[in-house]
Each structure stands twice: as structure tokens, then as C-alpha cells.
């Protein structure tokens, strides 16, 4: 039996999720994930929690080993992933405390490996084929609906849909960049949503982003711009109800064998050349 079926990757300000956990270390062909996996149970479901930046927040967004993180989760049985993250709001109405469940993503990162399927041999000698998967809809529709319903059930009206633009970081945006992102019609800006979502797709995992707005991004207001303290302070204020929403969502997600979305069939028509864990 698998150790877990649902994975939660916690972001800045969110370093623990479950109370009663078994800590395990997992190695992958891509190296070590950000931290141990913390296995526990929520609503009768086996869950694996992984702090995205490491439990001491020692990894900036561009140094996170995203490939190892997703691979490690899949290797313990995870097939559905919930990814809470701190983001900046690009519209005045998306102020601190807004929960946005995006349905689109724009990649503005610069130097991150965003595929497993690149023809580069793995340490065991196996060679993944070069594969081009569909990513038109980057997030799991079932996961998005489940999270939105869970938030509503906790009287936290979410913004359903919207575009998360992911920047390289670790610095925050300039005012000009922020105004440009807003002018494109994008909703929120973060630093970790990519390549997390696309790597989940390559592993045929369901992936859902829970984007918690911690600040209005630099160009949206005339103040001092964003500070890391501000991000952590707002995240800390909302971490309790975010945890409740995650608990409810975990309980409401379909069983692995009953996934009705297309995520599990992401590889249809392709030979990956390597077995997935
Ligand atoms: Zn799915």
C-alpha cells in the first residue's frame, strides 16, 4: 500500500501541516527534495506534506529542486497535489487575505529545469524520451472545484480562476514590471508556481494552486512595495484558515482510482522512455 495519496506542498510561512506525522527521507534520481516528507492522515486520507522551501526556509524559489519534490511525492503514492503559495495581488480588489484558485499560468522564470522528459540519462542509465505534453490547462479542474468549495464551506469566498504569473525572484517586482503584469490582465504574481505545475503534469499528477494574496504588488499601490516581513505576517494571520480549507479539500478529493479528470492521462500517445515511480 502507498504511504500517501494526496500531497501538500507548503510555501512561505507554512512549514507544518499535520500534527501527528511520520518523517521519512526520500531520495530521487534528481537529488534530494526540499526536506523530509511528513506523512499523516487527514479525514481518513493518507497525506504527505513537504515544506517547499525546507522547514527552515533555507531554499529561495530558484534553488528549490522542483523535480525532486514532485518525484518524491509520486514515489510514495501521491497522485493529487495541493500547492498553497504566497502571492502578490495585481488588482486593487485582490488585497491581502484573498484566496485565488488560478486556472491559468504565465511563466516568467529564467533559469529553472522544467521537464523530466529531456533526453538526459538518469543515474541508473535509463534515458527519458523527448516529449511535448499539452499544458493548455495547467491546473486540475476537479482540484480547483474542490478547493473552491472547501473555501466557501469555511466562509472564505475564493476568487475562482485567474492567471498566476511566476517570476524568477528572489527579488520582488519593480513597479514597472508589476504595472506591466497587471496591464496584461494577469491576476497574481508568485515565485514558485512554475515549474511545480508543469512537473506535476509530466508525472500525471493532479495539481491545484491555492494562491494566498499577502500583499498588493509594487505597481498596484503607491506605498513602499513588498517586503518579506509583510508576506510572512499576512500568511501567518491566514495560515489557520488555509489549513482548515486544505483539510476539507483533502477529505473531498476523489480517491486515486476514481480520478475523472484528464491529469492521469497526460501521457496519452507518448512513450516516456522511463518508468514513473
Ligand atoms: Zn486532475
CATH of the domain at 165: 3.40.50.1580
- What pLDDT does 165 receive? 98
233 falls in which pLDDT band (50, 70, 90)? confident
- Asked if residue 221 has pLDDT above 70, the reply is no
Does residue 214 come out as left (phi exceeding 0), alpha (psi in the -120 to 50 range) or beta? alpha
The single residue of 35, 107, 217, 248 carrying the catalytic annotation is 217
Taking the centre of ligand 1 as the mean of its atom positions, its distance from the CA of residue 239, in whole angstroms, is 25
- Asked if residue 222 has pLDDT above 60, the reply is no
Nearest to 71 by CA among 169, 191, 182, 202: 202
> Within a domain: residue 274?
no
> Within a domain: residue 202?
yes
Taking the centre of ligand 1 as the mean of its atom positions, its distance from the CA of residue 193, in whole angstroms, is 16
Share of the chain above pLDDT 70, in %: 95
> Within a domain: residue 71?
yes
| Dist. CA 90–CA 182, nearest whole Å | 5
Nearest to 36 by CA among 13, 10, 62: 10
Please give the average per-residue pLDDT across 178-200, as a whole number: 97
Of all helices (H) and strands (E), which one includes residue 39?
strand 37-42
Q: Is-contact 170 62, C-beta < 8 A?
A: yes
> Within a domain: residue 232?
yes
> Within a domain: residue 270?
no
Residues with CB under 5 A from ligand 1 (ion): 140, 206, 261, 263
Residue 21 cell numbers, joined: 506525522
The single residue of 215, 248, 265, 271 carrying the catalytic annotation is 215
Q: Which residues contact 52 (CB under 8 A, 6 or more apart)?
A: 9, 10, 11, 12, 34, 59, 64, 69, 83, 85, 192, 196
- Asked if residue 16 has pLDDT above 90, the reply is no
* Number of domains comprising the chain: 1
DSSP secondary structure letter of residue 232: H
Give ∠ CA 44-103-176 in degrees, rounded to 5. Answer: 130
> Within a domain: residue 1?
no
The burial class, CB within 10 Å (0-12 / 13-18 / 19+), for 185 is exposed
- Would you call 217 a catalytic residue per the annotation? yes
Is omega for the bond preceding 101 within 30 degrees of 0, making it cis?
A: no
- Would you call 118 a catalytic residue per the annotation? no
Residue range 234-259, pLDDT digits in tens? 888 888 999 999 999 999 999 999 99
Residues at the binding site for phosphate are 12, 52-53, 192
> Within a domain: residue 162?
yes
- Residue 123 belongs to domain spanning: 6-265
Taking the centre of ligand 1 as the mean of its atom positions, its distance from the CA of residue 9, in whole angstroms, is 16
> Within a domain: residue 276?
no
Taking the centre of ligand 1 as the mean of its atom positions, its distance from the CA of residue 204, in whole angstroms, is 8
- What pLDDT does 224 receive? 62
Taking the centre of ligand 1 as the mean of its atom positions, its distance from the CA of residue 83, in whole angstroms, is 13
Residue in the block written with cell 481518513: 44
Amino acid at each position: 500500500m502507498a504511504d500517501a495519496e494526496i500531497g501538500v506542498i507548503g510555501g512561505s510561512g507554512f512549514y507544518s501541516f499535520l500534527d501527528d506525522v511520520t518523517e521519512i527521507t526520500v531520495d530521487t534520481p534528481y537529488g534530494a527534495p526540499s526536506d523530509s516528507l511528513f506523512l499523516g492522515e487527514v479525514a481518513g486520507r493518507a497525506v504527505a506534506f513537504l515544506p517547499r522551501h525546507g522547514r527552515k526556509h533555507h531554499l529561495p524559489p530558484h534553488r528549490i529542486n522542483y523535480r525532486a519534490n514532485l518525484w518524491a511525492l509520486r514515489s510514495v503514492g501521491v497522485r493529487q497535489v495541493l500547492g498553497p503559495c504566497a502571492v502578490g495581488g495585481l488588482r486593487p480588489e485582490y488585497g491581502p487575505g484573498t484566496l485565488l484558485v488560478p486556472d491559468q499560468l504565465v511563466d516568467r522564470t529564467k533559469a529553472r529545469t522544467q521537464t523530466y522528459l529531456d533526453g538526459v540519462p538518469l543515474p541508473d542509465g535509463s534515458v527519458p524520451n523527448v516529449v511535448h505534453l499539452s499544458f493548455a490547462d495547467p491546473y486540475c479542474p476537479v482540484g480547483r472545484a474542490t478547493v473552491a468549495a472547501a473555501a466557501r464551506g469555511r466562509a472564505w469566498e475564493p476568487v475562482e480562476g485567474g492567471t498566476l504569473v511566476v517570476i524568477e525572484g528572489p527579488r520582488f517586482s519593480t513597479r514597472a514590471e508589476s504595472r506591466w503584469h497587471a496591464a496584461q490582465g494577469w491576476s497574481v504574481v508568485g515565485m514558485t508556481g512554475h515549474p511545480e505545475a508543469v512537473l506535476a503534469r509530466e508525472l500525471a499528477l493532479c495539481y491545484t494552486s491555492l494562491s494566498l494574496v499577502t500583499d498588493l504588488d509594487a505597481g498596484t499601490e503607491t506605498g513602499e512595495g513588498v517586503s518579506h516581513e509583510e508576506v510572512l505576517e499576512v500568511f501567518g494571520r491566514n495560515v489557520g484558515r488555509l489549513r482548515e480549507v486544505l483539510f476539507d479539500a483533502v477529505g473531498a478529493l476523489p480517491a486515486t482510482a476514481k480520478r475523472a479528470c484528464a491529469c492521469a492521462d497526460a501521457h496519452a500517445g507518448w512513450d516516456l522512455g522511463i518508468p514513473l515511480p
